[in-house]
């Protein structure tokens, strides 16, 4: 039996097919991520092509992509018909760029964390967490030298006087 992407499924069928609870489907609908029509008995009916959207929501959640980002991408997709291959390619490219950026940020964080833990605070000249005399107090809370400074991620490294006797 061949199905058409615009065939309708009940919420129970969609839940069974996707493994997503009915309450989560209601939530995704309220957020505008998926769309349901209503039958004469006021039951939700989902076009079969919504299964792909729901599957992508599941994948996006596993990848750590916020639902707001999913909604932004989905807003560029048609809801009244199944998206085309080109539509899905656009979505894929957008998320690929986001994941590449996230990977870069995580690799930098891993490098900094490894250096921080690995140094054992023996290198008081190179430690990015060192803040002698609380000199950075006016630059904001937390480890201000480790902040992500945008796409180019420049970590501020200041020359400090040799204070090998100071403690962090």
Residue 79, pLDDT above cutoff 70:
yes
Residues 6+ apart with CB under 8 A from 92: none
Is the pLDDT reported for residue 20 higher than 70?
Answer: yes
The whole model's pTM is what?
0.60
80-89, 109-118, 135-144, 146-155: least confident range: 146-155
Predicted confidence (pLDDT) per residue in 101-144, tens digit: 889 988 888 877 776 665 555 555 566 566 666 777 788 776 66
46 CB burial (10 A radius; 0-12, 13-18, 19+): buried
**Structure tokens belonging to residue 21:** 């609870």
Closest CA to 37 of 53, 50, 54: 50
**pLDDT the model gives residue 121:** 57
User: What tokens appear for 55 in the block?
Assistant: 């599957």
């Amino acid at each position: 039996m061949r199905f058409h992407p615009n065939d309708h499924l009940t919420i129970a069928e969609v839940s069974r097919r996707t493994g997503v609870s009915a309450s989560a489907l209601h939530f995704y609908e309220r957020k505008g991520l998926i769309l349901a029509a209503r039958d004469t008995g006021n039951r939700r009916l989902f076009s079969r092509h919504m299964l792909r959207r729901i599957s992508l929501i599941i994948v996006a959640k596993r990848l750590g992509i916020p639902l707001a980002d999913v909604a932004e991408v989905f807003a560029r997709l048609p809801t009244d018909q199944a998206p085309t291959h080109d539509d899905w390619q656009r979505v894929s490219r957008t998320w690929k760029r986001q994941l590449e950026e996230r990977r870069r940020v995580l690799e930098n964080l891993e490098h900094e964390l490894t250096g921080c833990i690995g140094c054992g605070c023996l290198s008081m000249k190179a430690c990015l967490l060192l803040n002698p005399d609380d000199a950075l107090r006016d630059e904001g809370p937390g480890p201000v030298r480790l902040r992500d400074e945008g796409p180019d991620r420049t970590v501020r490294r200041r020359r400090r006087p040799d204070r090998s006797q100071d403690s962090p």
